[in-house]
Chain A
Amino acid sequence: MIDLLTPPFDPQKILENKRALKKQLLLQEGLLEKRVALLGGSTIGEIKSILELFLLSHGIKPIFFEGQYGLYYEELAFENPALAEFHPDVIYIHTTSRNIMEYPRPGMSAEEREALLQGTFSRWSEMWQSATTRYGCVVLQNNFDMLPYRIMGNMDAVHRNGRLRFLSDLNALIYDFQLKNPRFHVNDINYLSACYGLDQWHDAKNWYLFKYALTPGAIPVLCHSVAAIIKAVYGKNKKALALDLDNTLWGGVIGDEGAENIRLGMETPEGMAFLEFQQYIGAVSDTGVILGVCSKNEEENALSGLSHPTSALKREEFASFKANWEPKHLNLQAMAKELNIGLDSIVFADDNPAERQVVRGFLPQVETVPLSVPEEYIRALDRQAYFETVSLSEDDLNRNSAYRQNMCREASRALFKDYEDYLRSLKMICRVDRFHSGNLGRVTQLINKTNQFNLTTARLSEAEAALRAEDPSYIALCGALTDRFGDNGIVIVLGARVKGEEAEMELFLMSCRVFKRRLEDAMLDEMIRRLKQAGVKKLTGLYFPTGKNALVKDFYLEQGFTAVSKERFELDLRGDAAQKYDAMEIVRYDA
């Protein structure tokens, strides 16, 4: 990540360097193009150019559609041929409390006030509903920032006719809307403005002169946050946090001072800071972020720190543990391999700037957290939005236990001489299902973040996946894998478009967590079985190389397909083409 685009921001420097930054960011390879419609209830101008920088820094190249000034409602609520022709992937509506037309008056009756609240909310929600259904895309809007004044003073937050109370209630309705509409996302400017300082955020002069609803200096904070949501929607979140130990997770050098002398716990100010940082990391990992240790230490000393009685994090919470004297970039490479994730999915946190520098030098794709002093660690990590959550799937919640189960599987594998025996011993059950509303969240997540075992790397929004679920000429399958060590949840997705007697495999991807379980064979069998039932005689498999999916470049050849070009492989389904694979029981949920 470019330093200028890493919080805390220097808005002046970003502004001065925006052209150069853009040029530099456009040089990156493999940028993902997304069509972003920008609509606003106030001036958008600079928001567009700064948002572009942040999106580019996440590898997303936006193509913008800019709505007319202040006409967001008219543009979204009604038919809009220009927007329809643009085919937006994302619609971002930038508003603020400046766009609230009417507030309750102090003497309003409870009924009138409720009607005003519902009326105000439904004007917004109908617009979002209209936008999501009309364009089938992701819609993003903020909640509302608090006002720069309080008519009733403190009571304004309490009384139902207070304006601040009105905004709080409106915000609560907006949150509930998102919970029911996964394609809609809230940008929490109520929080951002509080962090920035409301007195600074509201800049009356820039509003009266230029109709900027927030001070121009806050634009980087806003755009960073909006870009964080968009990158998370498109699967560009970080997946793992690799942590140093000495002076990162506790105070002191454990090898020199001994486990009993490290600062961790309520006894010292420093100890409290480290303890809270550990607790914060524990909570982050509960959302599905994988933890690893990357420390220059004797393993024994490192372990003694994590078994310290006040340590909030324990050894078993780390899916990968590298405490040795190897250079850290080598350990991070080994960690990526072990966890089966890309280096660009890893965030590295180390208090030592020299170690960070080495890692940045050797592995520019690894993000390093700019840690300074322990009391600022939480903020330094939190503000980066590396792990922005746009949905919390069952899978996220179980991820870390899944990695622990994998350690058990590895241990048991050592007991078998023959790999097939080992697979049979796992007593695997594959639950096959079609895409439906109950699994689309996880399916979309998998589609968008799987890089290695992904034949086409086609990325789909939830809306696009939903279209395929409903399309009778499309066979969209997902598979969940259970074995005697636990449930992996949905880990594989296949999608084939049927045209008469031919079909083309648009989606074929699998989570790295279940590599080498022959799940891909079983699911391909299942797909072929269903294609045959649909009267398909020829299946075309596609492989588009991306730089991350070399693992599967020969996949279709290994499955008995014939190459017709570098990217296309064909299989004749008229014979008995399917393999017989019996190490796994298949349960069909949709049958």
Chain B
Amino acid sequence: MLTSALLFLHTFSDRYEFNPLLGDVSTVFFPRIVLVALFVLAAVLTVRGTVRSPDDGEEASGTLDVARLSAVFGAICLSAVILWLAGLVLGGPLVVALTAWTLGYRNPYVLAAVAVILSLLLWAVLGEVAGVSVPRGAIWNWL
């Protein structure tokens, strides 16, 4: 609700000032409609949330493992950085190992094998055969 309100206010900044040379309808005409609708519906949802308990099909079933969730979230963030810096061939096995470890997998031999084979397979199939761009590692450009 707050985000839609702020974005709506942003549409009144000078850069979006209506210019008849650029068409008959302002460039933020439609975004304003969307943001107003979003604001109103978010407000309705908030009001509904205060007068009744939330039961609209939340997916959380049972208890959430917050510690594991935080660890996996950290691993995912770190994975993005590792892949960007080290590339797929070197960073890929680290990403798989890191995420699997935080998810509770504890067989180091299987993990190492899967991590290395998967990374090399992806590099070969996507990068070399299919010609798809794979992370090469920014660190190698700097060195």
Report whether chain A binds chain B.
Answer: no
